[in-house]
Amino acid sequence: LFQYDIHGRPGLWLDRFWTDNEATDEVKAFAERLVAGVLDKKKELDDLIGKYATNWKVSRMPIVDRNILRAGVYELLWMDDVPAKVTVNEAIELAKSFGDDEASKFVNGILDQVLTKEPRLEAKRAEAGAVKREA
């Protein structure tokens, strides 16, 4: 997603990534499903993230944060096989690893808003027990 965001078009970047990084077929299938879904729903994801990111335009967010949020919101809305708690925790860990010092709090705050307030996520809220997550 980061590479796509930089180049703005499909390319060989995903094939190159798999050449440089070993992964099981299961991991590859999940990642490719996630990337394809995020790219397909990018406008809707950005609109939704912008709705819950008070005083932030998605286009002005750090590129890493923006793509972690896109992936997280996509998982919450369209990947029923991924529990909400797993999505949020993985997004926070990615932000800690690849973002700046504030990224994990930023990502957690926005995903928490989406999970708490987005009407389409009622089932995921119930599944997550609406437990507040810590960054």
Q: At residue 134, does pLDDT exceed 90?
A: no
Res. 131 pLDDT band, cuts 50 70 90: very low
* Confidence check: pLDDT of 83 > 90: yes
108: number of Cβ within 10 Å: 20
3-state secondary structure the chain: CHHHHHHCCCCCHHHHHHHHCCCCHHHHHHHHHHHHHHHHCHHHHHHHHHHHCCCCCHHHCCHHHHHHHHHHHHHHHHCCCCCHHHHHHHHHHHHHHHCCCCHHHHHHHHHHHHHHHCHHHHHHHHHHCCCCCCC
pLDDT digits (tens, 9 = 90+) for 28-59: 899 889 999 999 999 999 999 999 998 899 99
Query: What pLDDT does 129 receive?
Result: 67
What topology is assigned to 32-128 in CATH? Answer: N-utilizing Substance Protein B Homolog; Chain A (1.10.940)
* Average pLDDT rounded to a whole number, residues 96-102: 94
Residues 88, 82: contact at Cβ < 8 Å?
A: no
More confident residue, 63 or 2: 63
- Name residue, tokens 């099981």: 24
Alpha carbon distance 56, 25 (integer Å): 37
Position 98 scores a pLDDT of 94
Question: Percentage of the chain surpassing pLDDT 90?
Answer: 65
Question: What are the sequence ranges of the domains in the chain?
Answer: 32-128
